[in-house]
Structure 1
Amino acid sequence: MGVMESLPRIHFVELHDLDRTPPVLRTLHTESITTIYRLTDAAREYARPLARALREGADPRIVDLCAGSGGPVPLIQRRLHREGIHTSVTLTDLVPNVGAFERVEASNRRVLPSCCSVDHESSSVDATDCRVPGTRTIYGAFHHFPPALARRMLQNAVDTRSPIVIVDTKRSWLYVLLFPFFTTLAVLLAAPFQRNPLPRYLLRLVLTYLVPVLPFMMFFDSVVSFLRMYGRGELRSMVDGLDGTESFTWTIGVERGFTGAQYLIGIPRS
């Protein structure tokens, strides 16, 4: 599995997770992450674990937890539609970015038929105590949760017999050393092309080029993210310790490709 896989996870705090981080700065940051998903075509690799779960009987109603400013799931939905897999998606977050969710919905209505809808929950949804029915997805956010909360999230899925698909980046020194530079460069190059209301667009330019808060934030949070990623052994120990874990089939693996997509799939047994 490699040297880094055997090292313990380090739970630092990302800047955009801090309570004192202004909401507008957090929004600009998560919008940059969504843009990076598009630039890297992350949906190509990220779609495979969800497609596998759906083929194994997961509910085609997708409940995307910790969706940020839309995340990759709407892009994944489009790719699955081209492959003949039809889903409906509900975007949720503990602090929902309703404006971003509505823009994603409008965009998807223009390119997808009614068989593949996107909607959102405008009220707060706690990923550790979710009540929205469907297959839960967590893309690029599971590492934000310390072990106790991560286990609670998985336990809630088991208790409610909800399929769950978690995708993050694998733990690798290559990603720790190279990806922060790539994501920071993406922020610098993409800022002028971000679609934002004019005041926020101008603020993005100021915080990217005049006072480079957003590039610094992306670099710092990228480094911390990779140090916080769960290894496959840690994921296995986590699911083995759940109450009623034998009622689920768990699959842990990594998709080959640029993004290094590591996944955990949980499907209720019939």
Structure 2
Amino acid sequence: MQAGLTATWTTHIPLIQKSSPAELVANLLRTHLAPNLHSHVFIDFCAGAGGPTPSIERHLNRPSTPKTSNNNNTARKELTNGNSNPIAKDEPLHFVLTDLHPHTDLWAKAVAQADAPGAISYVAEPVDAARVPRELIRRYRGPEGKKKVFRLFNLAFHHFDDGLARRILRDTVDGGGEGFGIFELQDRGIAGFVACCFLGIGIMVMAPYYALLWGAPLSLVLTYVVPVLPAVLVFDGWMSCLRTRTPDEIEALLRTCGAEGGEKEIAKWEVKSGSEKFMWPVGSVDWVICVKRES
């Protein structure tokens, strides 16, 4: 299941997709964190089996011509920051994998396959996104606190009920980071439900390739003989659609998260959101990026 979802993030089918969803996320981070992109360290707090984060790392650290977003839905409100310390732009961006249930064997493979040495690391101990140890945050901010911590939630934020989501946002605002990004592959609209059906079809078409790639021939049985994988992926996707919040709903949670300093503290944060299509007619990355303003 997790490998199938990772494939959804990272697969790019020429002529059908303009890019993979992971590449779109990389371009969004490049665009909306400029010009201080290299001042950030990115911590994935719900990394699962690794998800799109290793692919995002490759797209951002591999030399390329930056792509800019042409999305007309971008941007909504400004609800700012931190010290803008210069960071060498030839230094690779650093990504950290964490989870409440660590998958260290899979993460170790991601570390070994990273394009830039030291670009990916992981925390072997369980990390609760609602109670992140401040020592962990200080560790990745580096000497003299030069780095800004940016939290990643890739296909994850819809799993949290409102109470847990508020606690996670409060933990971020109260000193656990200088920004966060929420990236989803579904929404509560008709297009989101249809996209999940395409996911089931895609898994059935690509199953032989992924069975070889993953070294898991049993997946062929669970795809064609007893179609458990496509059925569960589609059903899980539909339930995720029902739970996915709109940007306004996420902003409302941010405003009511109970952060120290109240509304005055929340007002320092800038919220942007939008939707980027990676496959016509229904495949989209819906996103929210929130950062503290430069003081």
Same fold per TM (> 0.5)? Answer: yes
The alpha-carbon deviation at position 56 of structure 1 amounts to 5.9
Q: How far, CA to CA, are the matches of 2:163 and 2:35 in structure 1?
A: 28
Q: How far, CA to CA, are the matches of 1:207 and 1:170 in structure 2?
A: 24
Q: How far, CA to CA, are the matches of 1:222 and 1:173 in structure 2?
A: 12
Q: So what's the TM-score if we normalise by structure 1?
A: 0.78
Q: Which whole-Å deviations, capped at 9, do the CAs of 1:137-178 have from their partners, x for residues lacking one?
A: 111110011111111111100112402122124635232331
Equivalences for residues 166-245 of structure 1 within 5 A: 166-169=182-185, 171-194=187-210, 195-196=213-214, 198=215, 201-242=216-257, 243=259, 244=261, 245=265
Instruction: Say yes or no: does 1:91 pair with 2:118.
Output: no
More helix by share: 1
State the partner residue of 2:145: none
Q: How far, CA to CA, are the matches of 1:210 and 1:99 in structure 2?
A: 30
Q: How far, CA to CA, are the matches of 2:126 and 2:52 in structure 1?
A: 20
The alpha-carbon deviation at position 231 of structure 1 amounts to 0.9
Q: How far, CA to CA, are the matches of 1:105 and 1:45 in structure 2?
A: 22
Contact kept in structure 1, 2:152 and 2:180, CA below 8 Å: yes
Q: Which whole-Å deviations, capped at 9, do the CAs of 1:168-219 have from their partners, x for residues lacking one?
A: 24635232331111111222223222333x4xx1332222222221111101
Q: Which whole-Å deviations, capped at 9, do the CAs of 1:91-138 have from their partners, x for residues lacking one?
A: 111111222212222222xxx133x61111122111111233232111
Q: How far, CA to CA, are the matches of 1:193 and 1:239 in structure 2?
A: 42
Q: 1:46 aligns with which of 4, 18, 25?
A: 25
Q: Which whole-Å deviations, capped at 9, do the CAs of 1:36-84 have from their partners, x for residues lacking one?
A: 1122401232123322453264642211111111111211122122347
Contact kept in structure 2, 1:53 and 1:267, CA below 8 Å: no
Q: So what's the TM-score if we normalise by structure 2?
A: 0.72
Q: How far, CA to CA, are the matches of 1:124 and 1:175 in structure 2?
A: 35
Q: 2:46 aligns with which of 66, 69, 92?
A: 66
Equivalences for residues 147-166 of structure 1 within 5 A: 147-162=162-177, 163-166=179-182
Distance change in 2, residues 1:53/1:159 (3 Å): farther
Contact kept in structure 2, 1:94 and 1:125, CA below 8 Å: yes
State the partner residue of 1:75: 55
State the partner residue of 1:261: 285
* Counterpart AA for 2:196: P
Contact kept in structure 2, 1:252 and 1:264, CA below 8 Å: yes
Instruction: State the structure with more CA Rg.
Output: 2
Q: Percent sequence identity over matched residues?
A: 27
Aligned residue pairs total: 235
Distance change in 2, residues 1:170/1:176 (3 Å): closer
Equivalences for residues 75-154 of structure 1 within 5 A: 75-81=55-61, 82-83=63-64, 86-108=92-114, 112-114=115-117, 117-131=119-133, 132-133=136-137, 134-154=149-169
Q: Which runs of 4+ in 1 moved over 6 A?
A: none
Q: How far, CA to CA, are the matches of 2:23 and 2:290 in structure 1?
A: 21
Q: Report the RMSD for the aligned CA atoms in angstroms.
A: 2.2
Q: How far, CA to CA, are the matches of 1:182 and 1:95 in structure 2?
A: 29
Gaps of 5+ in 1: 1-28
